[in-house]
Amino acid sequence: MSLNYYDLILPVVPKGTFTYTSEHDIPVGSRVKVFFGSRIEHGIVKGKADKIHPDISYKNINEVLDDKPVFPEKYLTMFNKMSNYYQTPLGIAMRGVLAKSILSSERLDVDCDISDKSILLSLSNDQHSVYASLTKIIDSGFSANLLHGITGSGKTEIYIELVKECIKKGKQVIYIVPEISLTPQIVQRLSERLGFSVPVYHSKLSPKRKQKVFWGFNSGCYPLVIGARSALFIPSDNIGLIIVDEEHESSFKQEESPSYQLRDMAVMYADILNVPVVLGSATPSVESYFNALNGKYRYLELNKRFNEKQLPEIKIIDLKTSDIIDNLLSVKLYDKIFEKIKQNEQVLLLLNKKGYSKHLICKKCGTTLQCLNCSIALTYYKKGDYAKCSYCGEIYKFFKCSECGENDFLDFGHGTEKAVEILRELFGDTVIKLDTDSVTSHKKMQSILNDFYSGKYNIMVGTQLIAKGFNFPEVTLVGVLNIDNLLSLPDFRANERAYQLLMQVAGRAGRFIKKGEVFIQTYNPEMPVFQLLNSDSEKFYMEELSRRKEHDYPPFMRMVRIIISDTKEDRAKKTMETISEKINEAKSSETKTLGPSPAPIFKIKNRYRYSFIIKTPNVSRIQVLGRIARENFEVLKKGNMQLKLDVDPYFFM
């Protein structure tokens, strides 16, 4: 028997593929076990090796795990495209997307307990015109569809109809939501409506649970899986529809390599599979809105027929000219809250900062307490009496001023913990807090929401978690305590994020019978975003798009951010300078660059960071310039210096 050479994708760092030999014929997409260096790794057969070097001694494939391949060819095509577009070697792409516990796991015969008859597939009687126009997309090849509709406009109902239609045609559905662990309601709702227990997939599941869902979906047994980003990467050769809910969520962008944008990957994958993808949001991303405008996506706006209630008018409170209580509440907002409590109605207050205070400032010399590993001010937590760095996670139990050694500090910049303290002094025990610090588990979250829902508390204060679409009929007032920190970020999406957050939180007020009111406190009432909150959303998108165009930002230009980081400051600087010179030499006139410059957060985890940004209208230039960066880095790198190539970046600090 002759020897076959196979290229394998292994979940290891150095490069894309490694070549191994086997006497057997192994189909592409099979999982194999091999010796790699001195350890054992599991990988995927990518294909027959195209070149064999005589001076490399190839190892034999140890074991083939599958009798039929787990990863379809189209899946591998998607994988290659991802690796190529995001400038990430296949190995890193693989380790970022497929759990090791899956790669090495025995294929399970999952009994998913679903009989065809028990699935509730009868379509809704509703004559909603969107149903008719949308269900046609199932089984008609690739299409990207943007569903723009506020909460309560029936978005989820449309997803359910599409899922049913797709299952009816014998195909499977992948349904992606951000932060599935925080929104178990949607799973319950889908399960009730479809008549089977819908499996959930995300990276925090136990390996056992993960394997069950993975193999259950892969075998075609589960007709639907709902999950976080990683659910998109469960392979199956029978996928008929991909849904991405809350498509505007910036958490769909993965920060670690491969730093892919899930929504964009979903569209790319659907295109490869030749199936429809549906993106839904009450406040679509500017990118998706633009794609809808230029015809790349089909645009479907859900008119507010489903609930006649209009959004309440959003009013701005200028903090510069207001009397302010405890540096937190304008007298005007205080009066409003007081009035609502007297009528036993409920209030939601948004403050986008966790902990007690944003900064600790030395009373003696005025120095801000900083993390020793990062150039970042420490957040103080009163409960537990410690300071914490939000970038490296380091906790400081005992701290003193780095300049004068004193340990007497003034807290500055309120977080939710302090806000609760102040509000309790003003309004009594009727205040409850909701942020990721108070939510340590599903159960805790559910109990906080239930307590508030049942009326045990009148005021809930929290971070953006409170904007996540929970419905509280008694909420008639929404207050935004401070949005200015979000708007002052050096980030071209700051405006968009603020708009989305404000619209989402405003949507929590007076959703039902009672009339709602929304107040936003700010020191910068003249900022354009505030003028657009009460207009038609179209106006916001058009203005934002023209601003983006004027400043050469996405979606008009592609962006790549290069970060060089190193424990030695001068080495990082020099390397970044050389690489940026090489790129500037090679770039065409339509390509624009920014930097190099020290990153806004100069030091993270003891690594000094230099940043360089490329903007180009031409997608193919990304690959070319990216390769220049990587090749030069390979030559220049010393010690533990790192290069990060972030294609379509969302993080600019």
Partner DNA sequence: CCATGAGCCTTC
Partner DNA sequence: AAGGCTCATGGG
Residue nearer to DNA on the CB measure, 256 or 308: 256
Instruction: Name the segment binding DNA (CB under 7 A); options: 18-26, 356-364, 399-407, 589-597.
Output: 18-26
Q: What is the DSSP letter of 614?
A: E
Instruction: Name the segment binding DNA (CB under 7 A); options: 13-21, 192-200, 267-275, 351-359.
Output: 13-21
Residue nearer to DNA on the CB measure, 3 or 56: 56
Binding mask of the shown chain, residues 32 to 71, with x at each position contacting DNA by CB under 7 A:
--xxxxxx----------------xxxx------------
373 binds, among DNA, Zn ion, none (CB under 5 to 8 A by kind): Zn ion
- Is there a binding annotation on residue 221? no
Residue nearer to Zn ion on the CB measure, 199 or 415: 415
Instruction: Answer yes or no whether residue 443 interacts with DNA by CB under 7 A.
Output: no
Total of residues contacting Zn ion (CB under 5 A): 15
Residue nearer to DNA on the CB measure, 54 or 639: 639
Cβ neighbourhood burial of 246 (10 Å; 0-12, 13-18, 19+): buried
Residue nearer to DNA on the CB measure, 35 or 338: 35
Instruction: Answer yes or no whether residue 331 interacts with DNA by CB under 7 A.
Output: no
Sequence-ordered alpha helix ranges (H) in 440-516 = 442-453, 484-487, 494-506
Instruction: Answer yes or no whether residue 387 interacts with Zn ion by CB under 5 A.
Output: no
Instruction: Answer yes or no whether residue 653 interacts with Zn ion by CB under 5 A.
Output: no
35 binds, among DNA, Zn ion, none (CB under 5 to 8 A by kind): DNA
Closest separation in Å from C-beta 602 to Zn ion: 12
Instruction: Name the segment binding Zn ion (CB under 5 A); options: 204-212, 370-378, 407-415, 461-469.
Output: 370-378
The radius of gyration of the chain's CA atoms, rounded to the nearest angstrom, is 26
Instruction: Name the segment binding DNA (CB under 7 A); options: 14-22, 145-153, 190-198, 310-318.
Output: 14-22
Instruction: Answer yes or no whether residue 361 interacts with Zn ion by CB under 5 A.
Output: no
Residue nearer to Zn ion on the CB measure, 364 or 574: 364
Binding mask of the shown chain, residues 254 to 293, with x at each position contacting Zn ion by CB under 5 A:
----------------------------------------
Instruction: Answer yes or no whether residue 460 interacts with Zn ion by CB under 5 A.
Output: no
How far is residue 506's CA from residue 312's CA, in Å, rounded to a whole number?
8
Of residues 390-409, those binding Zn ion (CB under 5 A): 391-392, 394, 401, 403-404, 406
Instruction: Answer yes or no whether residue 12 interacts with DNA by CB under 7 A.
Output: yes
Neighbours of 410 (CB within 10 A): 11
- Is there a binding annotation on residue 166? no
Strand ranges, E, within 415-470: 431-434, 459-462
Cβ neighbourhood burial of 642 (10 Å; 0-12, 13-18, 19+): middle
Phi, psi of 135, deg, nearest 5: -65, -20
Cα distances (angstroms) measured from residue 155 to each of 150, 479, 572: 8, 26, 48
358 with 418: CB under 8 angstroms?
no
How far is residue 93's CA from residue 348's CA, in Å, rounded to a whole number?
41
Return the closest-CA partner of residue 4 out of 27, 17, 28, 20.
Answer: 20
36 binds, among DNA, Zn ion, none (CB under 5 to 8 A by kind): DNA
Please give the helix or strand (H or E) that residue 191 lies within, else none: helix 184-194
Closest separation in Å from C-beta 383 to Zn ion: 20
Residue nearer to Zn ion on the CB measure, 151 or 367: 367
How far is residue 139's CA from residue 170's CA, in Å, rounded to a whole number?
10
455 binds, among DNA, Zn ion, none (CB under 5 to 8 A by kind): none
Residue nearer to DNA on the CB measure, 41 or 345: 41
Of residues 595-634, those binding DNA (CB under 7 A): none
How far is residue 44's CA from residue 99's CA, in Å, rounded to a whole number?
13
Structure tokens at 111: 């009994």
Instruction: Answer yes or no whether residue 3 interacts with DNA by CB under 7 A.
Output: no
Instruction: Name the segment binding Zn ion (CB under 5 A); options: 88-96, 373-381, 429-437, 532-540.
Output: 373-381
State the residue for tokens 């978005």: 155
Identity of residue 591: T
How far is residue 458's CA from residue 462's CA, in Å, rounded to a whole number?
13
| Half-sphere exposure of residue 277: CA atoms within 13 angstroms, side-chain side | 23
How far is residue 423's CA from residue 296's CA, in Å, rounded to a whole number?
48
Instruction: Answer yes or no whether residue 638 interacts with DNA by CB under 7 A.
Output: yes
Residue nearer to Zn ion on the CB measure, 366 or 428: 366
Please give the helix or strand (H or E) that residue 615 lies within, else none: strand 607-616
190 with 155: CB under 8 angstroms?
no
Query: Any residues with CB less than 8 A from the CB of 157 and at least 6 apart, and which?
Result: 124, 126, 128
Residue nearer to Zn ion on the CB measure, 374 or 460: 374
Residue nearer to Zn ion on the CB measure, 508 or 603: 603
State the residue for tokens 């899956």: 102
586 binds, among DNA, Zn ion, none (CB under 5 to 8 A by kind): none
583 with 593: CB under 8 angstroms?
yes
Total of residues contacting DNA (CB under 7 A): 18
Structure tokens at 26: 């192994």
403 binds, among DNA, Zn ion, none (CB under 5 to 8 A by kind): Zn ion
Helix/strand/coil for 43: strand
Closest separation in Å from C-beta 373 to DNA: 17
Helix/strand/coil for 554: coil
- Is there a binding annotation on residue 112? no
Instruction: Answer yes or no whether residue 121 interacts with Zn ion by CB under 5 A.
Output: no
SS3 for 233-265, per residue? HCCCCCEEEEEEECCCCHHHECCCCCCCEHHHH
How far is residue 88's CA from residue 13's CA, in Å, rounded to a whole number?
10
Which parts of this chain interact with DNA (CB under 7 A)?
Answer: 12-14, 18-20, 34-39, 56-59, 638-639
Enumerate the known binding-site residues for Zn(2+): 362, 365, 371, 374, 389, 392, 401, 404
Which parts of this chain interact with Zn ion (CB under 5 A)?
Answer: 362, 364-365, 367, 371, 373-374, 389, 391-392, 394, 401, 403-404, 406
